[in-house]
Amino acid sequence: MSAPQSPPRGRRAGIAARAALSLYPPAWRARYGDEVRALLEDSGGGPRAAVSLAWHAVPAWAWPPRQLHDGSGRMRASLATTGVAWVLLAGLAAVFAQLAQAQPSSQGQTLAQHPVIQWSYWAFDGFLAVSVLSVAAGGIPLWWLMIRTAHRRREVAWLLAPAVVPAVYLVATFVIADLVSRPSPPVGPWQSGPVADLANGGVGPRWFLALVVLGFAAAVLAAAGPALALRGLRPEGPAVVLAARAAVLATMTMGLACAASVVAAVGLYLWAPADAGYHESWQLAVYLPAVLLSSAVAVVSATRGIRAARPPAVA
Partner 1 sequence: MRDGLDRWADPPLLVLASLAEEPKHGYAITQDIADTMGVRLSAGTLYAVISRLESRGLIEPLESDDRRRPYRLTAAGARELSEQSERMRQVASVAQQRLRANYGWGGA
Binding stretches for partner 1 (CB under 8 A) = 1-2, 5, 7, 17, 20, 28, 31-32, 34-40, 42-43, 45, 48-49, 51-57, 59-60, 65-68, 315
Least separation, in Å, of the C-beta of 117 and partner 1? Answer: 51
CA angle, 210 then 92 then 207, to 5°: 15
Least distance from partner 1 to the Cβ atom of residue 42, Å:
4
The distance of closest approach from Cβ of residue 231 to partner 1 in the complex, given in angstroms and rounded to an integer, is 25
Shortest CB 72 distance to partner 1, Å: 19
Q: How far is the CB of 282 from partner 1 (least distance, A)?
A: 45
8 Å CB contact between 195 and 170: yes
> Where are any strands of DSSP class E within 184-284?
none
Identify which of residues 7 and 232 has a Cβ nearer to partner 1 in the complex: 7
Q: Phi first, then psi: give them for residue 137, nearest 5 degrees.
A: -65, -40
> Which CB sits closer to partner 1, 32 or 216?
32
* Least distance between partner 1 and beta carbon 45 (Å): 7
CB closer to partner 1, 70 vs 178: 70
Q: How far apart are the first and last CA of the chain?
A: 28
- Nearest residue (CB) to partner 1, 39 versus 292: 39
**29 or 114: whose CB is closer to partner 1?**
29
Rank residues 5 and 281 by Cβ distance to partner 1 and give the closer one.
Answer: 5
Closest by CA position to 220, among listed 86, 27, 110:
86
CB of 303 to partner 1, least distance (A): 21
129-168 burial by CB neighbour count: b if 16+ within 10 A, else e?
ebbbebbeebbebbbebbeebbeeeeeeebbbbbeebbee
Looking at residue 108, its amino acid is G
Are 253 and 130 a contacting pair, CB within 8 Å? yes
With respect to partner 1, which residue has the nearer C-beta, 51 or 171? 51
Could you give the angle at the alpha carbon of 272 between the alpha carbons of 113 and 190, nearest 5°?
80
**Those residues with Cβ within 8 angstroms of residue 252's Cβ, 6 or more apart along the chain or in another chain:** 299, 302
Nearby residues of 157 by Cβ (< 8 Å), 6 or more positions away = none
